[in-house]
Amino acid sequence: MTLSLPASLYTDPEVHVDESLRLFARSWQIIGHQSQLQDQAAIELDLLGHPVMLTRDDLGQIRVLSNVCRHRAGPLMPCPGGRKRLSCRYHGWQYDLSGQCISAPEMGDNPEFDPADYRLPEIRHALWQGLIFATLDPEAMPLDRMLAGLSETISPSEPCAFTFHHRDHYDLDCNWKVYMDNYLEGYHIPHIHPELNRMLDYRSYQTDVHDWYSCQHSPMEQADGLYGAGKAWYVTLFPNTMLNLYPSRMQTNTVIPLAQNCCRVIFDYYYEHPENPKTAEWIARDLAFSDEVQREDIEICQQVQRGLSSGSYDRGPLNQRREQGVLHFQSLYRRFMAPPEVDQHG
């Protein structure tokens, strides 16, 4: 019988610190989509607490730069008026979109100062299907190896066919792994999500696991419903990234641990033609439905966190048929968090 992770891994502040070093510092994270760079040359973002700037120069070269000025660590912003430069909010040093410092007000009196000596560090990034991923680990496994076969698996769904619409987030009073465990199984759908359950064919709901990702998929039953006929895909990229694909729309979710008992779930919403005024009403319905499902998940996740913290529970048996995704995630988690920490907890 395969057992779930022990409760202490969801409640111990030391585990939270270990995870940031052993797991998240070595992981790939979605930071954006190339469609966001169609109208903007630079976007300020956050990568696991590190300020970064996503840029695209005139030649189409995408970069992820550390958004920390080389003068005294101030934050940069895109220059106003569409000028293809970055400007520091603190004392006004300017950089080009490759991160090269090009001017620094009133530094000319210092004969040893040359802007050419100052450059924003570049952070490793990779593209998959239009999504831009970044990692703080120069040694992390190449992204294309991690995602090998995924495009073929989800075909004809194509994340690159979508355009970014907007970002939102929810803050939850639970450990980030409670949210992941919950996302990784459809076992709870008939009990927690009555509306979603009507939309999916629960009997045909399946989970396939691969080396570094797992896919849950189900036919959608309501041919004339909100999403029409097609397939729902729920893809989890280890450790904390999810792609939710329905016909005509995609969401990406990233779960960011804030402490051992709270996390933030970032939602990026994508549509095929968000600029088309005719789709506005449908987008509003999609957002309302998505929010309803999310609130149902938040409620149960926060209750599970209370259960894990109660002292009356340690671990339980996983359902071999319905919780393969949870098992897969928890196995990878153990591998990354290798001894001595996890072994101490059993």
Judged by CB under 6 A, does residue 88 bind ligand FES?
yes
Stretch that binds ligand FES, among 91-99, 128-136, 189-197, 309-317 (CB under 6 A): 91-99
Task: Give the DSSP H/E element, type plus range, for residue 56.
Answer: strand 50-56
Q: Using the rule CB under 6 A, is 184 a contact of ligand FES?
A: no
Q: Among 159, 297, 301, 333, indicate the residue that binds Fe ion (CB under 5 A).
A: 297
Pairwise CA distance, residues 237 & 346, whole Å: 25
How far apart, in Å, are the Cα atoms of 302 and each of 9, 171, 172, 306, 317?
A: 16, 11, 7, 6, 20
Tell which one of 83, 90, 198, 320 touches ligand FES (CB under 6 A).
90
Tell me which of 26, 84, 91, 334 binds ligand FES, using CB under 6 A: 91
Cβ-based neighbour number of residue 193 at 10 Å: 18
In the sheet that 76-78 helps form, which strands lie side by side, from edge to edge? Answer: 76-78, 85-88, 94-96, 101-103
Decide whether 132 or 327 has the Cβ nearer to Fe ion.
Answer: 327
Look-up: residue for tokens 């299907």? 129
- Is 101 a residue that touches ligand FES (CB under 6 A)? no
Give the x-and-dash track for 235-274 against Fe ion (CB under 5 A). Answer: ----------------------------------------
Partner in contact with 69, chosen from ligand FES, Fe ion, none, beta carbon below 5 to 8 Å by kind: ligand FES
Phi-psi region of 81 (alpha: psi -120 to 50; beta: other; left: phi over 0): left
Residue 71 binds to ligand FES (criterion: CB under 6 A): yes
Interhelix angle 176-183/280-308, rounded to 10 degrees, is 120
Q: Does 185 bind Fe ion (CB under 5 A)?
A: no
Classify the C-alpha dihedral 149-212-322-131 as positive or negative. Answer: negative
Cβ nearer to ligand FES, comparing 91 with 188: 91
Query: Site size for ligand FES, by CB under 6 A?
Result: 9
Contacts of 67 (CB under 8 A, 6+ apart): 44, 45, 51, 52, 53, 75, 76, 120
Rule CB under 6 A: is residue 69 a binding residue for ligand FES?
yes
Q: Which of 237/304 has CB closer to Fe ion?
A: 304
Residue ranges that bind ligand FES, judged by CB under 6 A: 69, 71-72, 74, 88, 90-93
Residues that bind Fe ion (CB under 5 A): 297
